[in-house]
Amino acid sequence: MTVSNIIKANPTVKIFTGGASTTIIRKILPIAKFLTPSGPLPIPPDVIPPIITYVTLNTSDLNKDDPIVVEVTDNLGDIRRIFLQVHFLETGDVECVHDGDEFAPRYVSLSTIEVISNGFRYTLKRKLGWPQIVGRQSLMRWKTHAIDTSGNEA
């Protein structure tokens, strides 16, 4: 029997030819056994960005001392950093509320951060209250930027 006939008959056998003789060294395991994981499957990469929910939806109906509530969650709960800004539309002023590490001076004494399922709830109150324009609440636009540990941004 030649080496090529042995390989054709049994492709899982490794053949070593040394000189004139042919010696069977060991069986080769099918490649599928090497590719099958022996433990848990690897976790797929996180591609879902954090979710920002403005619990206080209508800021034009706020009293000057009412809180604004913002929730930031992530599917894995692995939020790296959150930035909060408010833009007062009538004046054009923009204030940093939270810089990702701490509250700004106008917010630090009255605002809180609470841990919730997979994220955080920001309850925001401004020192001296929200600006009033001729007896009504100033119009505000909020900008919240969140980044998780996989680099997904919202």
Helices (H), 27-129: 31-35
pLDDT digits (tens, 9 = 90+) for 119-149: 999 999 999 888 876 666 668 888 999 999 9
pTM of the full structure = 0.68
Question: 55: which residues sit within 8 A by CB, 6+ positions away?
Answer: 69, 70, 71, 121
DSSP secondary structure of 114-139: EEETTEEEEEE--TT-S-EETTEEPP
- Domain borders along the chain are 3-35, 51-148
Residue 30: alpha-carbon gap to chain centroid:
39
Question: Rounded to an integer, what distance in angstroms lies between the CA atom of residue 149 and that of residue 84?
Answer: 18
User: Looking at the chain, how many residues does it have?
Assistant: 154
Helices (H), the chain: 3-9, 31-35
pLDDT at 56: 82
For 51-148, CATH number out of 2.60.40, 1.10.1240, 2.30.240, 2.30.30 equals 2.60.40
Question: Rounded to an integer, what distance in angstroms lies between the CA atom of residue 31 and that of residue 98?
Answer: 54
